[in-house]
């Protein structure tokens, strides 16, 4: 299953890199490096991350890249909130999940509350 996810991620990353190369022709010497990007990824991680942080594509590439690193380090599929294993089913659907289903739900719930103007009843002045 890990191999499958990893393969999918690499495929997606290359796809995104293609888009990025088209949109940013200035990184010329990068194009050659892209071929064995994944192998060199660990060594060039910091530099690459800096280079890549531009636009949504590069943000996605960064996420995919980090996920691949997690797979390689054997830390893939662990919830970053509660450190429990994320269900394989969930990972197949959303490989970049960093949260287990229940933590994600909590996060979504709290952000939904955050979006809404706070009801006057909630605010109680504490003296
Ligand atoms: Zn969790």
Read off the pLDDT of residues 66-109 as tens digits, 9 standing for 90 and up. 999 999 999 899 998 999 999 988 988 889 899 999 999 999 99
Q: Report CA(78)–ligand 1 centroid distance (Å).
A: 8
- Positive or negative: CA dihedral 82, 83, 84, 86: positive
pTM of the full structure: 0.58
Q: Report CA(104)–ligand 1 centroid distance (Å).
A: 7
Q: Report CA(45)–ligand 1 centroid distance (Å).
A: 27
Residue of 9, 119, 104, 125 lying closest to 62 (CA atoms): 9
100-124 average pLDDT score: 72
**DSSP assignment, residue 85?**
B
Q: Report CA(85)–ligand 1 centroid distance (Å).
A: 8
Query: Whole-angstrom Cα distance, residue 33 to residue 30?
Result: 5
What is the number of H-type helices and E-type strands within the chain?
A: 7, 0
Q: Report CA(98)–ligand 1 centroid distance (Å).
A: 8
C-alpha dihedral, 106 to 112 to 117 to 122, nearest 10°: -20
Q: Report CA(81)–ligand 1 centroid distance (Å).
A: 5
| Domains of the chain, residue spans | 1-76, 78-116
R_g (Cα) of the chain, nearest Å: 19
């Amino acid at each position: 299953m890990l191999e499958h996810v990893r393969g999918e991620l690499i495929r997606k990353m290359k796809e995104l890199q293609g888009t990025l190369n088209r949109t940013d022709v200035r990184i010329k010497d990068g194009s050659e490096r892209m071929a064995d990007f994944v192998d060199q990824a660990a060594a060039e991680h910091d530099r690459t991350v800096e280079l890549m942080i531009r636009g949504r594509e590069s943000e996605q590439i960064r996420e995919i890249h980090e996920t691949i690193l997690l797979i390689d380090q054997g830390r893939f599929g662990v919830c970053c909130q509660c450190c429990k294993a994320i269900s394989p089913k969930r990972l197949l659907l959303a490989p970049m999940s960093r949260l287990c289903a229940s933590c994600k739900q909590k996060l979504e719930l709290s952000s939904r509350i955050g979006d809404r103007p706070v009801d006057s009843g909630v605010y109680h002045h504490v003296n």
